[in-house]
Structure 1
Amino acid sequence: MKTHIIPAIRLTLVLLVILSVIYPLVVAGVGRLAPGGGKGETVTVNGKVVGYTLVGQKFTEDRYFNSRPSAVEYNAAGSAGSNKGPSNPDYLKTVQVRIDTFLVHNPGIRKEDIPTELVTASGSGLDPDLSPVAAKIQVARIAKTRGISADRLTKLVDAQTTGPLIGLLGPSTVNVLKLNVALDALK
């Protein structure tokens, strides 16, 4: 029995030190090398922090590109999806309300042309990005509201589009916060 307990206690102590001390320090050290020093990358306008690039923000005014809906009202402390399946009547009702609202604010767009991400929340409820298609479908509304040409807004979306990681991994995305900050900076 002693031959099994002593090695088990030693292994437990070694793993306790590795997993409770060394590993967290290594992860924190690597985090310091990331943009924002591990505290998240902020977006600053006129010396004031207006948001974080990795957390979705709520933009609902017609003069801005709308964000992806959030199941947690953009509360980063409560990151979660709705946990409702695609056949849940409450979920379907919520999505239909989002579709109807989008169509009211974007006349001329057909229901079947609305990208899914504009009417459904992401798994975290905090997705900060849209696809270029979801951003561009909003261009006509913003052009009309702001009096800016649709071509200029489309070029702005293209300039704010980030391609896949190393050209292969993941889709092209547009960070909504950065896009709206760039939109406000247009003269």
Structure 2
Amino acid sequence: MNFVRLALIFPLFHIINGNGTSSKSLWDDDEEDQKPILRIHHINIFGDSRYMKALAHIDDNRTQFSLTVCLRQEMGSNFLTFNVKVRVRPSGRMIFVNLLQMRDLDLCGFFFELSGNPMMKYFLQSDIQLSDVIACPIRVGNYSLSNLRVKDIYPQVLQNGTYKFFVEVIEATAEKVFALQVTTEIRVPNAPE
């Protein structure tokens, strides 16, 4: 699997600034008048009760969230894959369209690359806090992901609208064991409607 492609989930698009040697995004602090205003509308989470109990918590500002998973059964003895999708319904429109879709990514391979590849760590830099280093097989226990900011999961070039970020983990038997959907309202000041 091409892990560079996966690493680009978070820093998807950049606006090239000036002479093309530096990149700038709408999230950069010096662009206050263009910084997106976002609000997590809701989070849907599913954890197959045979494997886990999964909970999500949205912070009071509705700009970041945390996940807690109590894993009841070891996972990873069978092949685990995951899918990622980002969809948008632009303001004034009725239909969602796909911005990004990646299917059948190797979850255990991702964990292995993340733990041992400095380039992956560089691409996925953020304030996200993971409770434990996760490796396959994923052992029984409690896992948490804290301080996941919405700006870490959406493209950096945005338009006004409703965004949905999906991730799901599937076992080789084609059983969905975990799914997460984050729905966010995003408004970019001074953006055309």
Q: TM-score range by the shorter chain?
A: under 0.3
Q: Which has the higher helix share?
A: 1
TM-score relative to the length of structure 1: 0.23
Q: Which has the higher strand share?
A: 2
TM-score relative to the length of structure 2: 0.23
